[in-house]
A and B are shown apart, each in its own frame.
Chain A
Amino acid sequence: MTTIESYARVVDAAPRGLIGGAPAGVGGAAAAQRKYSREPGFPVPILIAPATLWLIVFLFLPLVSIFIFSFWKTTGHSMVPGFTLDNYRAFFVTEGFFDSHSNDFLTPSVFIRTLWTTFRFTFTVMVICLILAYPMAYFLSMQVEDFKWQLALFLLVMVPFWTSYLIRAVAWLPMLGRHGLINEFLLDMGLIEEPVSFFLYSEFSYTMALVQLYVVLAVGPIFFSLAKIDRNLLEAARDMGATPFQIFREIIFPLSLPGIAIGMIFIFVMLMGEFATAVVVYGGKTSTTGTVILSYYAIANYPFAAVNAFMLMLAMMIGVVIILRVVDIRKEL
């Protein structure tokens, strides 16, 4: 921690901006802690009971059953209790794998490749979202001084989220299609002679649609963490002769890391489970682990769907842990 930062943490923040009113810094948290033990009211266990119960019944138990089902056997129309590793073998091992006579000697199974493809798209979209979202959030929190404008512009960023997810995805079709707006425009301008087909049902359209669908998930948290930064810090830094770049690198960016991490976790988790957008804007020309789960669900091979679901969950957990390793949210908050 730099000197400026540690100085900042003891200064009590002046309320400012959208969430400036919330208690910030170490002092606020300590005060809140003292409140719990002193004030009469509902004891903590009662307060957290509903959420805990909810999580146990609707999250923990289903997850455990998915894990258990992944070892069961399938009969073609239902699954029967048992313990087999065949489902996992089918996930990892492709026919001809490590068979020196086969062309597929080192080809990973299609399910691993699908998981990898899913991850590759997710990662690309995360990077693009970050590149787009950060300046947006920065502008909103740092450049727009008036609270009313801040709120208005922030709501404007959120507007796309008010329409259904599917409609936002479908809306790309008249834009990118062979006879879509972009192609018509390019044709009219004489820039192309034939409609360009790669705009739609391609990696291009898929990535673009995903970015548009999910970028807001990054803008929000980054905006909030930027808005929370105590402006006195920046002033102090300036007084001490820091250049704007230094201020960004040593104060603003580190303090916005929790927002980045939370935004990235949102996008990562949503995208890894993605299956609908690929159908709409990629024309189903790729498969994601989500679509694989659906395909096996559709043929009543629930154990294998469970294996895929479990592997997906594992990949998500690893991803989230990595993100949290890079940014220690608890420390930063």
Chain B
Amino acid sequence: MAYDSPGMFVQGRFSRRSFLKTTAAGVAASAATGLSFLRIAEAADGVRSIGLGVSEINEIQDKATKDLGFPVAGQAMGYGEMFGKMLNQNDQYEIAEGYYNDMRVMAPAKVWQPLDTKKLKDWDKVTNLTKTGKLTPESSEGQGDAPFKLMWCDADGNIVKGPSQYIIMCPAWHNADSMGYNPKATGRAIESWGELLNKDFKGKVALLNVPQIGVMDAALAIEALGLKKFVDKGNMTKPEIDFLIDYLIPLKKAGHFRAFWENFGQSVNLMVNGEVALESMWSPAVAAIQAEGVPCVYAFPKEGMRGWHGGLAISAKVKGKQLDQAYEYINWWLEGWPGAFVARQGYYHSVPDNAKKYLKPEEWDYWYMGKPAAMDLSDPFGTVIIKKGDVRSGGSYWNRYSKINVWNSIMQENDYLVKRWTEFLTA
């Protein structure tokens, strides 16, 4: 579901024309992945890693295999598939490249083992974003499942208030989402989440059809319009959910929403085809849309963005040599090369200085410092996606992350939320 298709773009092959080719390549690649997974399992040597296309990229696992001297195989999956496999088949992988917003499910299920931070070489260099929730002293922690609330655990894997010697997942790549818009279609700059529900854009708005996230974008909009203040948008109460859905249903009936998208490709197509002027969006979509010749800007709303954070966890089933190898792989991640790789895609690394070692100064200045690009910049696969002079919306990494409004979360009232969201869609 969510995030599945960034993989398609991450591979640098996204275009409508190459869709078929990508599919064919995907089939071949997954067959190859299956084989290497089998080999690692049979020999009990090396690590199998599962996750989303954001971090499971052939180039990364190939480089790891070369650097580490044991086989590393990665499998990119759709969100639902990944979630199910991580939860129910932890004998099928050594490494889970997961997300903190699933931690409320994964941690109590004890499918991952506590990681000993003493075995993580660069642990001291990991920023405070995940340790205390404050990237800079002035930062706000943000509502919802901020990683620092769900990262620390005791030696048995129970979530505790940090700091502690143990963590459930080692923080690595992360980003913040907002809305993308076509400035020609909106006729003005979009600077607030409230615009998502602005009647000016009736019939030209799309939301993400993942209830847990879609509802947060809507809540951000409702707050921005001053209609209601939510105590915690990442953990709404039933009356709050009711207020929100009851507000959205008449809007939907009036035709406010053009569509609800479920994967990256859909969000790109909606804007490329001129179906929407404004939609909730993941940042790599901007480059994909611009590549089709359609103007697109990623908004930096004044209320702050919606953050999400990924990381690496080790299955509870892993022991012996493979456990050491799993730690080596995580240490290799922290050391920076993969962080630099995904930085060219717009994702941040939990040890920025380590990523910096592998980035050109111009790349560092653009992606992390928020400065105008001093030259054309390429994505990880060599396609130019940033033109000289472009500026990343929201400024520097530290500026963006001091203003995270809310983190992707699983609410306590998740069941109720899904039920009401279904009602919203059925209305």
Contact = CB atoms under 8 A, between A and B. Distances in A.
Interface of A: 75-78, 90, 110-111, 113-114, 117, 173-174, 177-180, 197, 200-201, 279-280, 283-287, 291-292, 294-301, 304
B422 A292 contact: yes
Contacts of B419: 90, 110-111
Contacts of A180: 273
A111 to B, nearest CB: 8
Given A77-B108, A78-B109, A284-B209, A296 B426 contact: no
Contact of B83 (A90, A279, A300): A300
13 contacts: A110-B419, A111-B419, A177-B275, A178-B273, A178-B275, A283-B258, A283-B260, A284-B425, A285-B257, A285-B259, A299-B415, A300-B105, A304-B415
Q: Is the interface of B mostly helix, strand, loop or mixed?
A: helix
A291 B426 CA distance: 11
A117 B414 CA distance: 24
B145 to A, nearest CB: 14
B83 A295 contact: no
Contacts of B269: 173
Given A78-B109, A284-B262, A304-B415, A117 B275 contact: no
Contacts of B252: 285
A195 B177 CA distance: 31
Interface of B: 1, 79-80, 83-84, 87-88, 104-106, 108-109, 203, 206, 209, 211-212, 252, 257-262, 266, 269, 273-275, 410, 414-415, 418-419, 421-423, 425-426
Given A114-B422, A295-B418, A78 B87 contact: yes
Contacts of A114: 422, 426
Which 3 residue pairs of A and B lie closest in terms of their CB atoms, listed nearest first? A283-B259, A284-B260, A77-B109
B273 A179 contact: yes
A299 B426 contact: no
B261 A284 contact: yes
A86 B339 CA distance: 46
A77 B105 contact: yes
Contact of B414 (A111, A291, A292, A299): A299
A77 B275 contact: no
Given A177-B274, A179-B274, A283-B206, A295 B260 contact: no
A287 B425 contact: yes
Given A77-B108, A78-B87, A201-B258, A295 B203 contact: no
B259 A201 contact: yes
